[in-house]
Structures are given as C-alpha cells and as structure tokens.
Amino acid sequence: MVTNLIWTHYTKAGPFLVRQIAPLATKFLELELLKYSFSAEGENHLPGGTVCGPIKVDPIDAGWGLVELCLSGGGPFFLPQLIVASDDKAEQNIAISLTSAPKRRDGFQVFSAPVSSERLQKRLYLIPSLKSCSIQLVKFRVAPMTRGQVLRRFLAGMTRSPGLVVSSVINENLGYRFQSRQHRLTPATALRSLVEVASRNYPDPNQLRFGKDPSYSQWTNTRFETLIPRQMLPETRSRFPLSVAILAAKDDSGELLSLTMNSLSSAGISSDSVFLIDRAERTFQISPLTTLSDQDFHSHLANLGKEGFLLCLRAGDTVSRDLLDRCAEHSSAETTEILYFDHDHLGHEGTYCESDFKPDKSPNTLLFRNYLSRAALARISNLSLLLEQAPEIRSSGILGLIYGCAIQASQQSKPVMVHVPVPAIHLRKESSKELADRSNNEQTARTLLLESYAPNLIIDSSYSAGATWRSRNKPQKKVSIVIPTKNRVDLLRPAVDSILDMTLYPNYEIVIVDNQSDDMATLSFLEELSASNRANIVMFDEAFNFARIHNMIVPQLNSDYALLLNNDTEVTNPMWLTRLIDLFDLPDIGIVGNKLLYPDGTIQHAGATGGLKGPMAHHLVGHKDKDVHPLLSFPRDVLAVTGACLLIPTKLYLDCQGMDEKLAVSYNDMDLCLSVRETTGKAVVVSSSGGVIHKESKSRGTDFSAREQELLNSEADYFNSKWLARIRPDPFYNPNLSLENDFDLA
C-alpha cells in the first residue's frame, strides 16, 4: 500500500492505476573528456572532485529516470556523484550518489541511480570520483524507469538499511551531513526523499572514506563548498590576469602534473598562462604547456602582463574552481601587490586535510617564517622590479622571489597585502628534500631582504628546526628588571638567584618593588640583596595595583628598557634576555614578550588572542612546547603579551602614559600593548626563545573571594568597553578558528 501511494504521487496517476512505461531507446552521450582532464603518460587523468558539466540530456516522459554513467580506463572509480544544481541561489544543490554495478559491462564500469523527473529538469553536473583516476572514456545517459524498476530498488534499500533511510529523510539530508537542504521538509519532499534514498541503496556514511580527517572534509564543505558547491559557477568567469608556474621535480609523475593542470582548467585558467618549470628530461609531455628552466622563467617575466599576478605551484597542487572569482573580488588592480589564501593539503583519497589558517599581514612573523607557503599571488611588475634591485635573488628560485616580494609588501604601511581567509588552494605534501630546498631558498631571500629592513639582525630559520636570531653588533643598552612582590620569599629567592646566576646579558639591574611585605624572611632577603648591591629595593606602600606600581617605578628608572617580570618566574636559559633585546633590531618594534612555560614544560604563555574565551586570553595554554603548533618555534606578531615577562623601551612606556590604573589586577598588560599599537603603530612580538618558567598565579593564588571575582569581572567589562572594536576580529588569529577552543575549527 505504501509503495503504491509513493508511486502514485510521482506518476500523477489514480491510486489503482498501474502504469507501465516501456524503456525508450536512449543514446549514450560521450562527455567531452579533454575539457576536464589532461593527458600524461598515455592516459587521461581526472583529479578527485573535478566537476564536469553542465550535461545536456533530453527530457523524458516519465516520473523517474535511470541515470547511467559508464567509465573506462585504469581508475580507480570510487563514489561518483551527480550534482543537481538549482537556479535558486538560496537553495542547496543536491549531490546524488551513483552506485556501482557488481560487474563491468562491455569494458565499462557502470554506475547508476534513479532520479526524479523534477531533478532532471534542473542543470546536471558530474563529479566522476572523489579519488584521482586515469580515465579513457565517459559515457552518460538518462533512460525512463518503469514502475517495477523503481519499486525493486526501493524495497531492496528498505530491506537492507531501513534505519539509515528513515533517519536520512527525517534529518532532511540525502546521506551526508553536509548536504542538508535549506527548504522546509514537506510531505511531498519527504516522500520523494524516501524513494530517492532507499532506491539508490545509499551506502552507510560511516563507511565512506574522506581521508584521515573526515570531520575537516565535512566542515570545509559546509563552510566553503569544497566538495559540493552550493551554486555552480556561471559560464562566464571573472577576468583576472593570472599566470601560473608549475614546479616539476625529477620524480613527479604525469598524474601529478595533470592533477594540477586539470584544476587550473576547471578554474578557467587558460593553458596559455601556465608554464612548466622543469629541470628533468621527461619521457612524457603535458601539451600544450611551455616548458622553461628557473632562470629562463625569470627572464620570461618581462613578457608577461606587468599588471598581472603570478602563482607558483608544485606538481600535484590544485586550486578551487572559484579561485579567479575570489581573486577579482578581493584584490585591487591599483594597489594590491600580494594576494594570499589559506590553504590545506590533499590527501591520498583526493580529499582535503591539515588546514593552514593564516593571520592577516604579519610583517615580523613573515621575516621568520613564510606562512604564505605556495598560496600567494604576487604582482608581476613587483617581481621584475625586485629582480632588477637584487639580481642575486635569482638563486632563491621562483618561490624565493615571491617570498621576497611578500616581505617587501608586508613592510609597507599601505594595505598592499591582502589576505583571503578561504582555503582556495590545496597543496600536496612536500618531501623532506623539497621542504629543505624551500627552506634554503627562503633563507637566501630572507638574508637579502634583511639588509634593507633589519640590517643589524641575522636570522636562521627552517621548517624543521624553527628560528634562531642574533644581532651583528652586540647591544649594551641598559635594562631594568622590575619585579613587584609581597612576601613569598620562597618564590622571590629562586627568581632573583636564577637571574643573577644565568643571565649573560651584561648591562642590567634588578629593581624589586616591595608591596607592603611583613614576612620576616622576605624582609631579611630584601635587606641582604640591598646590602650586597645585587638589587635595588623600592617601597610601594599602597594596596596592590599592578598598573600603578609600574606607573610609579618606570619614570624613576635610569635605563633604556624596562623588563616587567613576575616574582613567580625562574630563568633557565642564559641567553633569555639577549634574545629579547635582539628582537628590537626588527623594524618598528614596540613591545617584546616571551614564550613562558609551566614547570612541567607545557605552554603557559605564547601570546594573547582578542576575543578568545572572553575579552582576551593566552592561546595554546597547557600544550606541549613546539609539538602542538609550528608557530611556537618562530617569533611572531600578536595583539598582546603578558606582563609576566614584557620588555618595553622606557621612553615608549612614558610616551604612552603607562598602564591604565583602572585595571588594577587584570588586563593591564594587554591594555598597555594595545595602547602602544594604537598610539604609535609599533608592533608587539612574542619571542619563541623562551628560557623562562612561570609558576602562574603562585603569588596571588587562584581561589578568589566573591569580592575579588567581582573586581575581575568589572575589569573585564571595562577592558571590553575600551578595546572591543580593536580586538575582534584579531588580525593575527584567523576567523576560521574557534574563539572557544583556540586553534580548533570555528
């Protein structure tokens, strides 16, 4: 009875009418394969996720049609899908799984699925596979379905997995969580969905392979439509002047090259604008590419449109179908010099994994680590100009040249460097040799550019070992290390002793601010330090106010720098202070903070993020040092650093009028950092050198009374009212990342 009602609804016949539709003679349509794939090593290669279409099919005189897809070639052919694209921009496109026949037919692997005539009246596209495959021929047709064919498929599906079918319909999806439709589920659409899902014998979603991180595949599709686009691209693409250089290594296969070429073609990038940079003699060719050497391509830049942009990829990298549209949307023809995207990596299954979500323009981060990777477009006229200014940069290769232009762009105050927070470029994993070669080439470019922007600084950086740095001329400027304390000699003594025993920087003094200590052991230790001239003791005879303490003390200092340091810290590396001072050789530095560790070696502080878990919070707290995120191995730009170890020029502190004394306990250090950025435009950098342990909250404790908690809450509210517009969004924290759990997906 149920099946009769379902069939009646879709054939628009009476409840007892038995309608038999004779199969009509339908011809197979051979898809224009070369439009979507490139030939290499004698085979056509179609990368995973390639969208072919639109496909023109003749209308059928039936309620349902059987879609058949026949593929020949080396494969593998896995989970092909038909996209039914709506003309309504507010409506979600539908991806229909085509299930495989158990045996090949006439040398073809056959896939099929019943599709309602309503779907077939819309525009159809094909994703042949989620995996890359070698393919010779693609044939496609839609044949009318008889009543018996539909019912047999429906009953087979209901018998095999009724729970999956019903739950899919109730959840308003067709099997994948990321295919949910936006329109309201009505009885009519529920019935159609029931037949569609059951009659296709849809596989268990838990058995579908989406790479090592299926949650990322689903998340990125929901957010950016990487697997199933909400709207297919129009026939007319945005015009954006882009040339692409593809770096081919000796061991790169034709499949990798064709994978990249196919994605460029799918994005509407003409092969006339693509160049193969190849140092190896090939037994195959990718036609019709122009093949050049590194040096030849440098000379060839002058022949490209000066106002155009260059993207440099490795064989195996791919781009999204809407890359040119996004470039045209976010760039300015007059001012943009560098346009860069977030990126992720391609897994072996043809799906995406391991995202790299980047900050906005971060000049100091970029000097230590090329966070742009191969997902950056550089204006060709700037590349040519840099080659003229520094011909020796040719030895860094094309990627090194783009990195050098990015450094130049990042050091300008004008907004010439544009970040598009979309993973529109998908990179293949580099081998250890390729990664080492890239590090060496970037080091060459970095050294050349440092001569212009930080001539006194030497930086050595690699992706495997992180960054080290040192000043050419050893600085001798005086540093006052300011340590507030009240009692707690058990914390103060190891803090002071570690500074005196471990610090190699020669020109410093220790200034201890005694905030009403009444413990005899502490008072005795302070007298001992004063008598031996190992520290200067200054009295602060008022209620605790961290901001007021420093506002009173810093103007009295006779030094070039003030280093704010907590009494519950301990120095572990003799170079800790030297490395902090050296970072002031970077251009326009206002404040340098330090990476701090808990006694167990996990992260206590590595910079603060605006809007994280409230007004502002430290990120990566409690994680293992260097293991959790590659940024922990490099100095980088941040909005703010903690006052537990904060270095600032004394004059700058005074020019910015110090700390806000309304923030007696919390956020005063963050406020100082934001004031420096706002009033002077100078940067705040967190060092990766470390060398200091912080036993956080040991001096004040963490069990706050109701009155103390009320004070903390009021200070948070005041800080938010003062800075909310400046800290959200945080330019150094990607909007695709969570503000609840730092560096998780949003």
Three-class secondary structure of residue 616 per DSSP: strand
Q: Is 271 helix (H, G, I), strand (E, B) or coil?
A: helix
Same domain membership, residue 624 and residue 694: yes
Q: Is residue 460 part of a domain?
A: no
Helix, strand, coil shares of the chain, percent, nearest 5, are: 35, 25, 40
CATH number, domain at 319?
Answer: 3.90.550.10
417 with 497, same domain? Answer: no
pLDDT of residue 125: 82
Give pLDDT tens digits for 235-252: 566 689 999 999 988 777
Domain of 265, in residue numbers: 242-454
DSSP assignment, residue 516? S
Helix (H) or strand (E) holding 501: helix 489-502
E strand or H helix at 458: strand 457-462
Q: Assess if residue 740 is contained within a domain.
A: no
Q: Are 358 and 365 in contact (CB under 8 A)?
A: no
185 plus 304 within the same structural domain: no
Structure tokens at 656: 């910015």
pLDDT in tens, 385-444: 999 999 999 999 999 999 999 999 999 988 899 999 999 999 998 888 899 999 999 999
Q: Judging by DSSP bridges, how do beta strands 457-462 and 466-471 pair with one another?
A: antiparallel
Residue 732 lies in a domain: no
> Which uninterrupted H or E stretch holds 368?
helix 363-368
pLDDT value at residue 422 = 95
DSSP secondary structure, 471-483, as one string: ESS-----EEEEE
The answer to whether the beta carbons of residues 139 and 108 sit under 8 Å apart is yes
225 belongs to a structural domain: no
Residue 36 three-state SS: coil
C-alpha span between 403 and 461 (Å, rounded): 14
CA distance 307 to 279: 28
Q: What is the DSSP letter of 105?
A: B
Backbone angles phi, psi at 63, to 5 degrees: -75, -25
> Strand, helix or coil at 537?
strand
Domain identity same for 43 and 189: yes
Same domain, yes or no, for 519 and 649? yes
For residue 107, count other CB atoms closer than 10 A to its CB. Answer: 10
Parts of the chain with a pLDDT under 70: 1-25, 34-43, 45, 47-49, 79, 87-92, 128-132, 164-165, 167-186, 188-194, 196-214, 227-238, 279-288, 348-350, 626-628, 697-704
Give φ, ψ of 470 to 5 degrees.
Answer: -160, 155
CB-based burial of residue 148 (10 Å sphere; 0-12 exposed, 13-18 middle, 19+ buried)? exposed
For 503-565, where are the alpha helices, taking DSSP H only? 520-531, 546-553
- Rounded to the nearest 5 degrees, what angle is found at the Cα of 296, between the Cα atoms of 290 and 299? 110
DSSP codes of every residue in 131-150? S-EEESEEEEEEEE--HHHH
Q: Give how far Cα 577 sits from Cα of 470, 478, 484, 692, Å.
A: 12, 11, 19, 10
- The pLDDT assigned to 49 comes to 62
288 Cβ contact partners less than 8 Å away, ≥ 6 residues apart: 271
DSSP string, 655-715: HTT---TT-SSSSHHHHHHHHHHHHH--EEEEEEEEEEEE-TTTTT-S---HHHHHHHHHH
Are residues 497 and 632 both part of a single domain? yes
Radius of gyration of the chain (CA): 32
* Helix (H) / strand (E) containing 444: helix 432-453
Residue for token pair 């693609």 = 138
Residue 356: what residue type? D
Residues 426 and 523 in one domain: no
Per-residue pLDDT tens digits for 485-527: 999 999 999 999 999 999 999 999 999 999 999 999 999 999 9
In a domain, 231, yes or no: no
Residues 374 and 439 in one domain: yes
Q: Count the neighbouring beta carbons within 10 Å of the beta carbon of residue 333.
A: 10
Query: Is 736 part of any domain?
Result: no
Question: Based on the domain organization, do 416 and 487 belong to the same domain?
Answer: no
Asked whether residue 200 falls in the same domain as residue 146, the answer is yes
In 3D, which of 101, 127, 123 has the Cα closest to residue 235?
123
Residue among 552, 576, 544, 561 at smallest CA distance from 701: 544
Number of domains in the chain: 3
Within this chain, do residues 485 and 421 fall inside the same structural domain, yes or no? no
Q: Tell me whether residue 226 is in a domain.
A: no
Burial group, residue 657, by CB count within 10 angstroms (0-12, 13-18, 19+) = exposed
CA dist 186 to 57, 163, 165, 173, 413, Å? 28, 20, 17, 13, 55
Q: Residue 27 falls within a domain, yes or no?
A: yes
How far is Cα of residue 556 from the mean position of the Cα atoms in its chain? Answer: 45
Q: Indicate if 252 and 202 belong to the same structural domain.
A: no
Q: Can you tell me whether residue 539 is helix, strand or coil?
A: strand
3-state secondary structure at position 176:
coil
